[in-house]
């Protein structure tokens, strides 16, 4: 075995130029593939985080049908079981209640369609990043039942400034219109059009009083410790909560676009992976066949000396494995270094901010290396080595020693 490894290494140095060229192709292919995967992982991760943490949360619990009709009549009079189930789940980092209702905001000179969201100001901070999006003024204080934080586009439409009064009108349960006056405490800019164009955030208490909901709310929002546990928490909630009273949905059940985008990205990664494997495979098979033809006499000699088919096969396979492993390791290593550098520094795509923000993507992408990528690359290297090695190795075992030694 040691001799085959030694032979593999030395045979690779026989034609250094060819080996180096093949290695360069391998390093570039595996390196760019790895870096592309870390980049994709980085932006897909940030998309999911941004979507979930901008305002949605990982899981929302509503009264059945509320997600579809959005009617305030469809509120949960008693959110206690949902809140208790969420707080008892070890994978739920935080939870909060909200009231959602559509309405209209007016000032003396303008009006704007809004979505009023009643939030628990302190708990909301633990669930989403909404408080971080305030660009002027401040986030709501607990008990500030006369204040409102407006999305930046809403504020601009109304030409409302901090401290200005805004009259907000909505339909309370039962269909009666009800208006309340709020003072602008802050303006938020999330970069996400749906948020910036519609949101008017008041305290939960203010919304409950205004809509006469008592202790009720339309929604309980859960933040899960990581995306991978979303399904497990969801299943647990389904088990624990009465389906007649509560409808539990994951973020991608409500808005499947991001999830579909992630899945289509995964599919394109597999496609690109396949292309890279085929190209690299062609390159290596070509190299190995060239090497095989150049050494046909030597293989004939080895067979004549008593080298068995399995041993010849193993020798060629070792050679391919060594070549692919060196190229793969260098490519992976290079990409890992780049990921390390740009993971901290980020790749600045602010020139595309407008289009990126609608996809919940950060303008600065931080590539992320994770176990999945490492497994992808290792599998690619292993499959490539195996596929590229098998054919030339098999051909070597089919050589007739007498004919092989006659070759010049």
Strand partners, 148: 184
What is the smallest separation between the CB atom of 352 and other proteins, expressed in angstroms? 53
Nearer to other proteins by C-beta: 386 or 402? 402
Phi/psi at 175 (5° precision): 105, -5
17 touching other proteins, by CB under 8 A: no
Q: How far apart are CA 168 and CA 200, in angstroms?
A: 9
11 touching other proteins, by CB under 8 A: yes
Q: Are strands 247-250 and 165-171 parallel, antiparallel or unpaired?
A: unpaired
293 touching other proteins, by CB under 8 A: no
> Which of 281, 301, 383, 387 contacts other proteins by CB under 8 A?
301
Nearer to other proteins by C-beta: 344 or 398? 398
Nearer to other proteins by C-beta: 163 or 306? 306
16 touching other proteins, by CB under 8 A: no
Nearer to other proteins by C-beta: 8 or 154? 8
Residue position matching structure tokens 């550098």? 341
Helices (H) and strands (E) in the chain, counts: 16, 12
310 touching other proteins, by CB under 8 A: yes
> Which of 153, 194, 255, 298 contacts other proteins by CB under 8 A?
298
Q: Output the DSSP codes for 18-60.
A: HHHHHHHHHHHHHHHHHHHHHHHHHHHHHHHHHHIIIII-SEE
10 touching other proteins, by CB under 8 A: yes
What is the smallest separation between the CB atom of 306 and other proteins, expressed in angstroms? 3
Nearer to other proteins by C-beta: 363 or 401? 401
402 touching other proteins, by CB under 8 A: yes
What is the smallest separation between the CB atom of 4 and other proteins, expressed in angstroms? 10
Smallest CA-to-CA distance from 210 within 101, 97, 67 is with: 101
319 touching other proteins, by CB under 8 A: no
H helix intervals, 111-229: 121-127, 152-158, 193-198, 204-211
What is the smallest separation between the CB atom of 51 and other proteins, expressed in angstroms? 57
307 touching other proteins, by CB under 8 A: yes
3-state secondary structure of 225: coil
What is the smallest separation between the CB atom of 407 and other proteins, expressed in angstroms? 10
Q: How far apart are CA 234 and CA 249, in angstroms?
A: 7
What is the smallest separation between the CB atom of 287 and other proteins, expressed in angstroms? 16
What is the smallest separation between the CB atom of 387 and other proteins, expressed in angstroms? 24
Q: How far is CA 125 from CA 94, 133, 233, 271, in A?
A: 9, 11, 21, 40
Q: How far apart are CA 366 and CA 362, in angstroms?
A: 9
Residue 67: alpha-carbon gap to chain centroid: 24
Nearer to other proteins by C-beta: 62 or 320? 320
Q: How far is CA 390 from CA 281, 378, 385, in A?
A: 11, 18, 8
Please choose, out of 69-77, 91-99, 136-144, 303-311, the segment that lies near other proteins by the rule CB under 8 A: 303-311
Please choose, out of 35-43, 159-167, 212-220, 307-315, the segment that lies near other proteins by the rule CB under 8 A: 307-315
Rule CB under 8 A: which residues touch other proteins?
2-3, 6-7, 10-11, 13-14, 297-298, 301-311, 401-402, 405
């Amino acid at each position: 075995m040691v001799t085959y490894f030694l032979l593999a290494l030395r045979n690779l140095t026989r034609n250094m130029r060819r080996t180096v060229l093949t290695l360069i192709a391998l390093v570039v292919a595996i390196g760019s593939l790895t870096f592309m995967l870390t980049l994709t992982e980085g932006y897909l991760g940030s998309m999911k985080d941004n979507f979930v943490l901008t305002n949605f949360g990982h899981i929302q619990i509503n009264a059945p049908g509320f997600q579809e009709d959005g009617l305030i009549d469809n509120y949960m009079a008693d959110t206690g079981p949902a809140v208790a189930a969420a707080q008892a789940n070890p994978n739920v980092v935080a939870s909060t209640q909200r009231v959602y209702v559509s309405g209209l905001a007016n000032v003396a000179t303008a009006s704007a369609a809004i979505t009023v969201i009643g939030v628990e100001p302190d708990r909301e901070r633990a669930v989403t990043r909404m408080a971080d999006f305030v660009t002027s003024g401040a986030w709501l204080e607990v008990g500030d039942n006369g204040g409102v934080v407006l999305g930046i586009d809403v504020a601009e439409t109304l030409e409302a400034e901090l401290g200005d009064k805004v009259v907000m009108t909505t339909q309370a349960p039962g269909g009666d219109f009800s208006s309340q006056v709020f003072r602008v405490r802050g303006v938020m800019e999330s970069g996400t059009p749906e948020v910036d164009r519609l949101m008017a955030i008041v305290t939960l208490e203010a919304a409950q009083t205004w809509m006469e909901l008592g202790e009720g709310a339309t929604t309980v929002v859960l933040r899960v410790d990581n995306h991978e546990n979303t399904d497990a928490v969801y299943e647990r909630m389904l088990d624990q909560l009465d389906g007649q009273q509560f409808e539990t949905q994951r973020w991608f059940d409500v808005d499947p676009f991001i999830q579909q985008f992630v899945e289509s990205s995964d599919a394109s990664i597999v496609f690109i992976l396949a292309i890279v494997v085929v190209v690299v495979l062609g390159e290596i098979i070509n190299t190995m066949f060239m090497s095989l033809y150049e050494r046909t006499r030597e293989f004939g000699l080895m067979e004549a000396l008593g080298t068995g088919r399995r041993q010849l096969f193993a020798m060629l396979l070792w050679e391919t494995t060594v070549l692919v492993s060196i190229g793969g390791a260098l490519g992976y290593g290079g990409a890992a270094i780049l990921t390390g550098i740009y993971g901290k520094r980020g790749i600045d795509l602010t020139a595309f901010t407008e289009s990126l923000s609608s996809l919940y993507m950060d303008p600065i992408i931080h590539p992320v290396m994770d176990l999945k990528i490492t497994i992808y690359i290792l599998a690619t290297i292993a499959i490539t080595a195996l596929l590229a090695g098998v054919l030339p190795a098999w051909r070597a075992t089919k050589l007739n020693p007498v004919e092989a030694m006659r070759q010049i």
